[in-house]
A and B are shown apart, each in its own frame.
Chain A
């Protein structure tokens, strides 16, 4: 009698749990799952916005893509921009986090200002940079001209009056990377800061007593203990930058001449503006295995390193 009663209590609990979890799972499975399946289906078909019918062509979309130089360029750019942003965010984020550990006056204001690049909507802050990089009115150019680094023959940044941050292929890539680092830096900083605060005070004091100076403590004690936190920073930075469309879309539209094209923008232009849905879906699908692989890799590394 008693055994039957306890069993039904656990059953009731499980049923309650399922009931609570089900709506969310259903929503996600349906509204995320169906588009994922559709994306795969489109990528295997010759679909365009013009012709509603679907013609199964297997992997030809993918083969076609791999043969296109634009696609190769887009993949290369996506990886380049992402890894450069990562390096920038890790290094500058650590420095900034160390600075924020010290007592400063006006901490709340400083915090708000430092967080702005991340907390402001991406597309809107991209507009600010559109102005900063403008080919005629750029405030950065104004400063460079004032410093004599621009605008006269032999100047470091060239003898034009403007640097054309978004108009020269190498410089445009740099500009995209700069904006990404600028935007992701606050996120990296706060994560690393949380990690720094998590290093037990005992251990730092012990290191001091054991004879370690600032740099020895930093490189031999603090940074190694921050590896899980760096892992989290890398994970989120990678995911955000790798799949980001708004920065390139607003600043360069992928130009000049596809110099800054990345996978998400290529997918958009192929699918929406070019009308070739199959190709667009195929392009976008390349994002998934990379994101999945990197996420799983980093999560595994973080957990293995658990102290």
Chain B
């Protein structure tokens, strides 16, 4: 049982790459291996062109932010941020300068004398970030840093991360299980499952051209619908369907269903139905205001543009291109 199996990854300088996957997919193990906290049984890790396999973490000039932020509880915010600089024995004056610069960058300069236990979740995260970037690392690793924040703070934090990356340009590897985060933050996303890399691509590619069934059903909320069709699976996103005014137009795939349930979720409505032919269970997503008339038990016909459909080999799960 391998935690990470045959993964090859090349991250160009300055890229923000997201490692996306569920728990146990191997994404954290991969990150920790790059950090030097775990040792690969086989393979090479190159950081900045140089082989880093034998280097302990502190020689790799990387910075890392853990999910828990791992702030040193007995040190003040200032000493927390200063710690990496003390470790490389910079002169005290320089340390002071850099700590102040980092603190101002993250807006925590008035918190410098506080202890971690006195800070809110958002403040702690900023201290962790300040500490990570205070010595301008070559590589910046983040392990689910937003998981401990309230939902409201996550939006703001995401924007912060993006702005930070644009400002500093440091190569960043970001681990998360949240596909919305991944889509919002990543320049490229690497989707992982069972220790294997499923697909790497831009958010657009991952979402609209999934390489296999796993990726197709991992992205999107709700995920892609899959209809069995001979030895194939035909897939389309719930939001790509619509109800035609008349008969189903050319170049569109008909979807006659019996409505099981309609969930009105504010802006959108989710329509659960079973396909008349074959009984496949489908979910459609429509704006709530156009779905008012739908009710359970009705027979309705939706359709989806064929250009938006994808085909997958039912046996291998791999994508066979557009449907």
Contacts and interface: CB of A to CB of B under 8 A. Distances in A.
Interface of A: 200, 202-203, 205-213, 216, 220-221, 224-225, 227, 307
B118 to A, nearest CB: 12
Contact of B58 (A203, A209, A221, A307): A209
Contact of B66 (A205, A211, A212, A225): A205
Given A211-B84, A211-B87, A225-B73, A206 B64 contact: yes
A208 B58 contact: yes
Interface of B: 35-37, 56-58, 62-64, 66, 68, 70, 72-74, 83-84, 86-88, 117, 131, 135
A281 B56 CA distance: 62
B68 A210 contact: no
A213 B57 CA distance: 10
A40 to B, nearest CB: 43
Given A211-B58, A221-B72, A225-B73, A216 B87 contact: yes
Contacts of B74: 224-225, 227, 307
B70 A203 contact: yes
Most chain A beta-carbon contacts within 10 A, residue among B37, B66, B87: B87
Contacts of B131: 210
A289 B182 CA distance: 64
Contacts of B70: 200, 202-203, 205-206
A212 to B, nearest CB: 5
A307 B115 CA distance: 9
Given A225-B73, A307-B117, A207 B66 contact: no
Most chain B CB inside 10 Å of its own CB: which residue of A202, A206, A220, A227? A206
A224 B72 CA distance: 10
Contacts of B87: 210-213, 216
A211 B88 contact: yes
A15 B57 CA distance: 60
A59 B87 CA distance: 60
Given A216-B87, A307-B117, A209 B72 contact: no
The 7 A-B residue pairs with the shortest CB-CB distance in the complex, in nearest-first order: A211-B87, A206-B70, A210-B84, A202-B70, A211-B58, A307-B73, A209-B57
Contacts of A211: 58, 84, 87-88, 135
Given A211-B58, A216-B87, 6 more contacts: A202-B66, A205-B64, A205-B66, A206-B64, A220-B86, A307-B74
- Residue from B62, B72, B135 whose CB has the most chain A CB atoms within 10 Å: B72
A200 B83 contact: no
B83 to A, nearest CB: 5
A146 B211 CA distance: 78
A137 to B, nearest CB: 51
10 contacts: A203-B73, A205-B57, A209-B35, A209-B58, A211-B87, A211-B88, A216-B87, A225-B73, A225-B74, A307-B117
A132 B34 CA distance: 55
Contacts of B86: 220
Contacts of B37: 205, 208-209
Given A205-B66, A307-B117, A212 B73 contact: no
Given A200-B68, A200-B70, A307-B73, A207 B83 contact: yes
Contacts of B56: 208
A206 B86 CA distance: 14
Contacts of A212: 58, 83, 87
Contact of B63 (A209, A216, A225): A209
A210 B37 CA distance: 12
A216 B56 CA distance: 15
Given A211-B88, A225-B73, A307-B73, A206 B58 contact: no
B219 to A, nearest CB: 30
A224 B84 CA distance: 17
Nearest to B131: A210
A204 to B, nearest CB: 9
Given A202-B66, A307-B117, A210 B58 contact: yes
A248 B35 CA distance: 56
Contact of B72 (A203, A205, A213): A203
A211 B66 CA distance: 16
A209 B62 contact: yes
